[in-house]
Amino acid sequence: MDDVYERLVREIMLWLPEPIRSLVGKLGRAAVVELEEIRLRVGRPLALEAGGRSLFLTPEAGLTEDKGKGYKVSSQDLARLLQLVSQASLYALEEELRQGYITLPGGYRVGLGGEAVVEGGRIRHLKHISSASIRLSRQVPGCADAVMPFVLRNHGGHPYRTLIVSPPRCGKTTLLRDMVRQLSDGVRGSGFPGVNVVLVDERSEVAGCYHGMPQNDVGARTDVLDGCPKGEGMLMAIRALSPAVVATDEIGTPVELAAVQEMLNAGVAVVTTVHAADLGELSRRTAWAAVLEQQVFERFIIMGRSCGSGTIEKILAADGRTVLLGRPLRASAGAGGLGGGGEAGVVAENGRSANGGPGLRVHRPGSGPELCLAAPAVARPAGGLANA
């Protein structure tokens, strides 16, 4: 937890305007490491989000659900934030503003709300910016340990084509990032030495590139196509970079699904994600029905929140019915899970964390499936079932 806290203080606090910087800094380590987003909306209370819950930060650095008690963000607060993140030159970031966000060193992202200036049917940039959402990117090395035995063929062989199915904000991008790292560097104890991986990172969320350089550890054998449209990038990877694995986040358009089919024809494994609650929901989408029927993907990792952010609810084989992992498992590394904290961030009944600081996590001991708490740190498939 200390490493996560120190990184957030070092890489995020300097972008926050005063007095917001000081208020967030007073929350304490346990609460800070749980943060997923900091939201500033002019004329409205400062909101902090973690574990699927949104709370308001008070002028006394407390947390409340009462919007009337939250610190009210001023236009000066937002103007100062924009000045800091743009280094006093929004004009220099015009292309990023057209996309609606600014990427910071460390892979953090500031999403912006305001009035869109449209020319020729395309957004040119934003003006009259009235809100900002600072999304906190975090690495959790080892959080994919539990799923890697299911993703690799027998004795560390070629990876299966794998789809992570997850509702929003359940830790899928964090899990994907660590899977990419392990596929690139190799998986200890599995006999898998690591292979060439191409990461098509259209929104700079996985590698967190800043000026083209990955800020997150995505492995020694990974090439990153940063800011590249996913459909085009997957095909470019096959033509130019000779990958064994191509990874990307949040696919779903016909162009992207067609590119996945091309990788299948080229013998390249794909590891990617999609927003959905389960395969039932996914199968009702026209573009996905054929993909599922043809068993383009050989492994489905279903994520949720039954044990908090980062819960692996189940892992399924290519037919979408054969269960390889049937009980919820909290993907974690050491004391921290995908939410960034560990026991220290769990909210007790009195609203305080285990170490006395304000906690933000929704899950309370005893409130979720006990099976999650008893799950092993690394689940290994029994027999040949995971290789069905």
Selection from 133, 111, 141 nearest residue 204 by Cα: 111
Task: Please check whether residue 143 lies inside any domain of the structure.
Answer: no
Same structural domain, 115 and 155: no
pLDDT for the residue numbered 144: 94
**What is the rounded radius of gyration, in angstroms, for the C-alpha atoms of the chain?**
21
CA 177 to chain centre: 8
The answer to whether residue 142 is domain-embedded is no
Whether residue 372 contacts residue 311, with contact meaning beta carbons closer than 8 Å, is answered with yes
pTM: 0.76
For residue 88, what pLDDT is reported?
57
Q: Which domain holds residue 312?
A: 148-340+351-387
CA distance 233 to 230: 5
Same domain? 169 vs 269: yes
Q: Which of 306, 335, 325 is nearest to 379 (CA)?
A: 325
Domain co-membership, 326 together with 182: yes
Q: Are residues 255 and 128 in the same domain?
A: no
Count Cβ atoms below 10 Å from residue 41 Cβ, excluding itself: 16
Residues 225 and 370 occupy one common structural domain: yes
DSSP secondary structure of 61-120: S-EES-GGGSPBPPHHHHHHHHHHHTTT-GGGGHHHHHHTEEE-TTS-EEEEEEEEEEET
Is 30 within a domain?
Answer: yes
To which residue do tokens 């001023």 refer? 74
Please answer whether residues 335 and 325 qualify as being in contact, where contact means their C-beta atoms are separated by less than 8 angstroms.
Answer: no
Task: Confirm if 311 and 331 have CB atoms less than 8 A apart.
Answer: yes
| pLDDT for position 205 | 86
Q: What is the pLDDT of residue 79?
A: 93
Separation of alpha carbons 108 and 98, rounded Å: 18
Last residue in a domain, options 72, 102, 135: 135
Residue 92: the pLDDT is: 56
Look at residues 85, 104, 135 and tell me which one is the last residue of a structural domain. 135
CATH number of the domain where residue 283 is located: 3.40.50.300
Summarised one tens digit per residue, pLDDT across range 257-279 is: 999 999 999 999 999 999 999 99
Q: Are residues 11 and 71 in the same domain?
A: yes
Q: What is the three-state SS of 239-304?
A: HHCCCCEEEECCCCCHHHHHHHHHHHHHCCEEEEEEECCCHHHHHCCHHHHHHHHCCCCCEEEEEE
Residues 40 and 184 in one domain: no
Q: Which stretches of the chain drop beneath a pLDDT of 50?
A: 334-388
In single-letter form, the type of residue at position 199 comes to L
Tell me whether residue 140 is in a domain: no
Rounded to the nearest 5 percent, the helix, strand and coil shares of the chain are 30, 25, 45
What CATH number does residue 55 fall under?
A: 3.30.450
For residue 139, what pLDDT is reported?
83
Please report, as a single letter, which amino acid is at residue 178: D
Number of domains in the chain: 2
The answer to whether residue 345 is domain-embedded is: no
Within a domain: residue 294? Answer: yes
Q: What is the pLDDT of residue 332?
A: 63
Q: Same structural domain for residues 67 and 155?
A: no
Please tell me whether residues 95 and 173 are part of one structural domain: no
Q: Is 312 strand, coil or helix? A: strand
Report if residue 51 sits inside a domain: yes
Assigned domain for 126 exists: yes
Are 55 and 193 members of one domain?
no
Residues 213 and 109 occupy one common structural domain: no
Boundary residue ending a domain (75, 101, 135) = 135
Q: Answer yes or no: do 99 and 188 share one domain.
A: no
